[in-house]
Structure 1
Amino acid sequence: MSKPAAAPLPGWGVWTWPNLVTAVRLLGIPLVCYLLLATQYYWQAAIILAVGGGTDWVDGQLARRLGQVSKLGRLLDPFVDRLYILSSLLMLTFLGLLPWPFTVAVLAREALLVSIVVVLRWHGFAPPQVHFLGKCATAMVFMSFPVLVVAGLVPGAEAWAAPLGWALAWWGLGLYWLAAIVYLRQAAGLLRAGRPEPSVAA
C-alpha cells in the first residue's frame, strides 16, 4: 500500500530545510550565468549546472521525509526547475552551444504544459501528477547542459563530451514531448470525466 501524501505545513512554511535547498539551487542560476558569460571558468560553471540540475529531486524528498511539505515549497520547487531549464537554454543558445530549433522545441513543450495547468485550474482541477517519464526526460535535459558546456567550451573535451551531450539532449527532448502527450491525455481524461467547478474564493 502506498504511503499517503504528507500534509502541508500550516501557513507558507518558509523556513524549512527543503526550501533552503531550493533557495541554494536558485542562487546557482545567476552564478552560472556570470561564469559562462563573463569568465572562462567553464568547468566550474558545468559543475554548478550539473549539481543544480541533478539535485532537483532532493528538496522534494527532504520535504516528504522530514514532514516539511509547504505551500511555498510546492510553488518554488517547480518554478526553480523551470527557471534552470529556461536560463540554461537561453545561455547555451546565446553562446552557440544549442541550435535554435532545439530551444524552440523545449520552449513549445513548456508552453503546452503551462497551458494544460491553466486549463485544469480554470475547471477546478489540480495539475496532473508528475509522471515517471517526465522525471526521466527532465533529468536527461538537465544533464545535457553541463556536458554540452564542457564539449563546446573546454579545450580537448569535444571528442568525448559532444556525443554524450547530444545523446542526452535529443533523447531527453523526445521523452520531454512524449511526457507532454501523457500529461495531455491525463488532462483530457479529467475534463471528460468532469465535476462541478468550485466557487471562486474571495
Structure 2
Amino acid sequence: MGENPVGGARVLNIPNLLSFGRLMLVPVFAVLIVVGQNGWAIAVLMISGFTDYLDGNLARRWGQTTRLGQMLDPIADRLYILTTLLGLAYREVIPWWLVLLLIARDAVLVCSLLLMTPDERRPLEVSFLGKAATACLLYAFPLLLLGDFDGGVADVAQPVGWAFAWWGTSLYWWSALLYLRQASAVLARRERLRTRPSGKAAG
C-alpha cells in the first residue's frame, strides 16, 4: 500500500532538523549583521542557503516530506530575508523603501490568506517564480554584504548583488500576483456557490 509522505508522522527527520537549524541561526545572523561582522554574517548566510537546498533535496529523495517541513522552510526563508533587509537598511547598505517594497508583498499575501478558510488555502500551489525570487534574494544579500567591504571583490560584488536584488524583487511581486489570481478564483468560486440556488428552477 502506498504511503502519503506529507501526512506521515516522522517529523523529526534529517530535512526537518536542518530546517530547525536554519531557524536557530536567525538570531545569530541578526547580531552579526548589526555589529558589522560581515565575514561571519556571510558565512551564516551561505550555510543557510546550502541547508535550504539540502533539506528540500533530501526530503524529496528520501520521501520524508512533511507538513511541518513545508511550513518551516518558507518561515526560515522569510525570517532570513526580513532580518537581512532590516540589518542592511540599518547599516545603510540598502534603502528603506526597498525594505518596505518587499515587506508589502508579504503583507498583501497574508491579507489574502486571511480571507480564505484552511481548506481553501490548501490547494494553492507555491509557484516556481516564488522559489526563484527567494533564491535570487538569498544570493543578493551576501553579495551586497561583500560590496560593503573595500577592494576589487567589493567592486564586483556590489553590482552583481544589486542585479540579483532587482531580479528577486521583480519575481517576488510577479509570484505574488499569480498567487493573488489563484486566491481571487477561489473566492469567486465560493461566492458563486453561496449565491447558487439550492434547487433547480422550474422549467
TM-score range relative to shorter protein: 0.7 to 0.9
In the alignment, which residue of structure 2 is the partner of 1:15?
12
The 5-angstrom pairing of residues 182-197 of structure 1 reads 182-194=178-190
Instruction: Return the alpha-carbon distance in structure 2 between the equivalents of residues 143 and 128 of structure 1.
Output: 26
Q: CA RMSD in A?
A: 2.4
Select which of 19, 28, 32 maps to 1:31.
28
Identity, in percent, stands at 39
Please report how far the alpha carbon of residue 196 of structure 1 lies from its aligned counterpart in structure 2 after TM superposition. Answer: 6.8
- In structure 2, what is the Cα distance between the partners aligned to 1:28 and 1:95? 20
Alpha-carbon deviations, 1:84-113, whole Å to 9, x = none? 111111111111111011000000001112
- 1:48–1:158 CA distance, 2 compared to 1 (3 A): same
**Matched-pair contact (CA < 8 Å) for 2:19–2:51:** no
Structure 1: distance between partners of 2:71 and 2:181: 24
Task: Tell me how many residue pairs correspond in the alignment.
Answer: 190
Match of 1:149? 145
- Contact kept? 2:34, 2:90, Cα under 8 Å: no
CA distance in 1, matches of 2:13, 2:46: 24
| Greater fraction helix | 2
> What is the match of residue 200 of structure 1?
none
Q: Tell me how far 1:52 sits from its aligned partner.
A: 1.1
Residues 41-63 of structure 1 show CA distances to partners (whole Å, capped at 9, x for unaligned) of: 42231132133135424323322
Contact 1:93–1:99 at 8 Å: present in 2 too? yes
The one of 153, 156, 160 aligned to 1:160: 156
Determine which of 40, 47, 72 is the counterpart of 1:51: 47
TM norm structure 2:
0.83
- Residue 123 of structure 1 deviates from its aligned partner by 6.9
Deviation for aligned residue 1:125: 3.3
d(CA) in 2 for partners of 1:54, 1:121:
34
2:6–2:67 Cα contact (<8 Å) kept: no
Larger-Rg structure: 2
TM superposition shift of 1:133: 1.1
- How far apart are 1:31 and its partner, in Å? 2.1
Whole-Å separation in 2 of the counterparts to 1:7 and 1:94? 39
Structure 2, unmatched stretches of 5+, are 195-203
Distance 1:5 1:65 in 2: 14
| 1:48-197 superposed matches below 5 A | 48-121=44-117, 124-126=120-122, 128-152=124-148, 154-156=149-151, 157-194=153-190
